[in-house]
Amino acid sequence: MAGWKLYEALNWASSFLKEHKRDQNAGEILLMHVMKMDRAKLLANLRTDLSRKEQEQFVDWVHRHSEGVPVQYLVGSEEFFGRTFVVNEHVLIPRPETEELVYYALKRMSVLFDGKKGLTIADIGTGSGAIAVTVKLERPDCIVYGVDISRPSLDVAIQNGNRLRADVQWVEGDLLTPFIDKGIKLDVILSNPPYIPLAEKDLLADVVKDHEPELALFGGQDGLDLYRRFCTQLPLVLKEQALVGFEVGAGQGQAVADMLKKVFPKGDIQVVFDINGKDRMVFMEMKNHQ
């Protein structure tokens, strides 16, 4: 293949991805990573030549993305809350909706606990560690646990914790069982559990269903299995004053809120909509003496 300049590589990728019904902008992201340039530098150097090695790497990535491999798995990272997290096929790619869960949780924590330091917080089903690491870095005074049933996922989370210097306590285990077994009580529980109904598997984009881990995607026939299990375990680990924040699938907010209401009739439970107007979060606040 003849040597390309950056703009020629971008033009080729754009038309190739369009032809394969993929996002044409993916070419730019992949080229930025191949060239180790940010977007401004890439655009300022469009007449620069790619080396043979860079060109081969770029063509390979564009072909693999056209076959459905997510861009984030190809480049090995994704941005979350202004930080870069390592991702691979063992973990769900962090989404903007989950950034909103963290943002609202941090806001609610400061009001509910009135600036109290040293809260004990758990991120259940931590995956890449995005929630646990972010909360620890935003609230260094807190004790933060990241729990996952999958050892390969946990290895990615530990790597992210080390890279970003977040002193999170990582635990391999199933939902809240590690805390029940050890008698540990929690102030805050956050989770983005698997919530896609199995019935909807065929409706998912192939980049999701063929590449992201099934363990992190599907929550039983109706998508609500994990929330049901949470509801049986929460009373065993929550302190009297506590905050629970779940990410949910669009259309599941009320069902999850109703489950929590049955178990915690005095809890202040709210369904919160994301920036796209979808019911994407459910928060429950327990105040002292409720």
- The 3 state secondary structure assigned to 209-277 is HCCCCHHHCECCCCCCHHHHHHHHHHHHHEEEEEEEEEECCCCCHHHHHHHHHHHCCCCEEEEEECCCC
Per residue in 256-282, pLDDT tens?
A: 999 999 999 999 999 999 999 999 999
Please give the average per-residue pLDDT across 241-253, as a whole number. Answer: 93
- 174 labelled ligand-binding: no
- 129 labelled ligand-binding: yes
- 193 labelled ligand-binding: yes
- 220 labelled ligand-binding: no
- 128 labelled ligand-binding: yes
User: Does this model's pTM top 0.95?
Assistant: no
Is residue 219 predicted with pLDDT exceeding 90? no
How much is the pLDDT for 1?
55
For residue 199, give both structure tokens.
């019935």
By residue count, the chain amounts to 290
How much is the pLDDT for 43?
92
pLDDT band at residue 197 using 50, 70 and 90 as cut-offs: low
- 197 labelled ligand-binding: no
Helix H or strand E encompassing 108: helix 96-112
Lowest mean pLDDT segment, chosen from 68-72, 171-175, 202-206, 210-214: 210-214
Question: Could you give the residue ranges of the DSSP H alpha helices within 113-185?
Answer: 130-138, 151-163, 177-182
Give the Cβ contact number of residue 84 at 10 Å.
13
How much is the pLDDT for 225?
86
- 127 labelled ligand-binding: yes
- For residues 59 and 67, is the Cβ–Cβ distance under 8 A? no
pLDDT band at residue 211 using 50, 70 and 90 as cut-offs: low
- 152 labelled ligand-binding: no
pLDDT band at residue 56 using 50, 70 and 90 as cut-offs: very high
Rounded Cα distance between 79 and 165, Å, is 16
- 15 labelled ligand-binding: no
How much is the pLDDT for 145?
98
Please give the average per-residue pLDDT across 164-173, as a whole number. Answer: 97
Is residue 198 predicted with pLDDT exceeding 80? no
- 140 labelled ligand-binding: no
Please give the average per-residue pLDDT across 65-83, as a whole number. Answer: 93
Is residue 290 predicted with pLDDT exceeding 50? no
How much is the pLDDT for 24?
85
Rounded Cα distance between 285 and 109, Å, is 9
How much is the pLDDT for 152?
92
DSSP track, 9-59: HHHHHHHHHHHTTS-TTHHHHHHHHHHT--HHHHHHTTTPBPPHHHHHHHH
Task: Please name which of 255, 249, 260 lies closest in space to residue 189, comparing C-alpha atoms.
Answer: 260
How much is the pLDDT for 216?
61
How much is the pLDDT for 126?
96
State the fold for domain 92-286.
Rossmann fold (3.40.50)
Residue that wins the pLDDT comparison between 210 and 177: 177
How much is the pLDDT for 3?
84
Please give the average per-residue pLDDT across 43-68, as a whole number. Answer: 94
